[in-house]
Amino acid sequence: MLIRSGKIQFLFWTAFFGIMLYLWIVTVGVQTFILPDEKPMELPENAVRLMFLLYGLLIVDLLAGTIIAAMINNKYYMRFFGILLMLAFGTFLGAKGMFG
């Protein structure tokens, strides 16, 4: 078994949870706003709060991963977290543009 340093393990798990949070955000958004059986009369507050909380956790997770990757000069994870951060912001701006 290959033993990795604690910093690389931290980056791996940060990337893993970043992907899981992003998929959770997309799943909640699609189920709430795109695939409901009938159009909701009011904005579902619980789903919006959950997505706001998940976006906050995602941003903290991605920024922590980016900072640690930059500190140890790991190009792979710097690129990975940069792409995931741009994807998260693009999704946020797209949702904001679509739903006001």
pTM here is: 0.86
pLDDT tens for each residue of 14-23: 999 999 999 9
On the 0-12 / 13-18 / 19+ scale of CB atoms within 10 A, 11 is buried
The whole-number pLDDT of residue 1 equals: 47
Residues 6+ apart with CB under 8 A from 20: none
Whether residue 19 contacts residue 87, with contact meaning beta carbons closer than 8 Å, is answered with no
Whether residue 85 contacts residue 61, with contact meaning beta carbons closer than 8 Å, is answered with no
pLDDT tens across the length of the chain (100 residues): 467 789 999 999 999 999 999 999 999 988 888 888 787 778 788 988 999 899 999 999 999 999 999 999 999 999 999 999 999 999 889 877 876 6
